[in-house]
């Protein structure tokens, strides 16, 4: 399984660059979430389930995607 690099910069397969601020845990379920900040615009803060952040791009839905993974470290 891939690992998250805290403070690493990642590119989303649709474009956009983000810095991972950390990994948080849901207080009820223990599920991991990646907290990340846009490096564009106002620097909005986002959160996404860890498994989804690390997942591969759905090739059926996005056959022309240039990346293997949804987010790839630069």
CB atoms within 10 A of CB 57: 20
Q: What is the pTM of this model?
A: 0.91
Average pLDDT over residues 2-15: 96
Sheet holding 71-73, edge to edge: 45-49, 32-38, 17-25, 9-12, 71-73
Query: DSSP of 12-26, one letter per residue?
Result: ETTS-EEEEEEEEE-
- Kindly list the distances between the CA atom of residue 37 and the CA atoms of 1, 41, 60, in Å, as whole numbers in the listed order: 23, 10, 28
Contact yes or no for 55/39 (Cβ under 8 A): no
Query: Tell me: the pLDDT tens digits for 20-53?
Result: 999 999 999 999 999 999 999 999 999 999 999 9
Select the more confidently predicted residue: 1 or 58: 58
């Amino acid at each position: 399984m891939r690992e998250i690099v805290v403070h690493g910069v990642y590119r989303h397969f649709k474009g956009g660059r983000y810095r991972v601020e950390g990994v948080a845990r849901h207080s009820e379920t223990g599920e991991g979430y990646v907290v990340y900040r846009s490096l564009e615009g106002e620097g909005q803060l986002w959160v996404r389930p860890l498994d989804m952040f690390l997942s591969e791009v759905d090739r059926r839905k996005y056959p022309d995607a240039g990346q293997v993974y949804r987010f790839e470290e630069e």
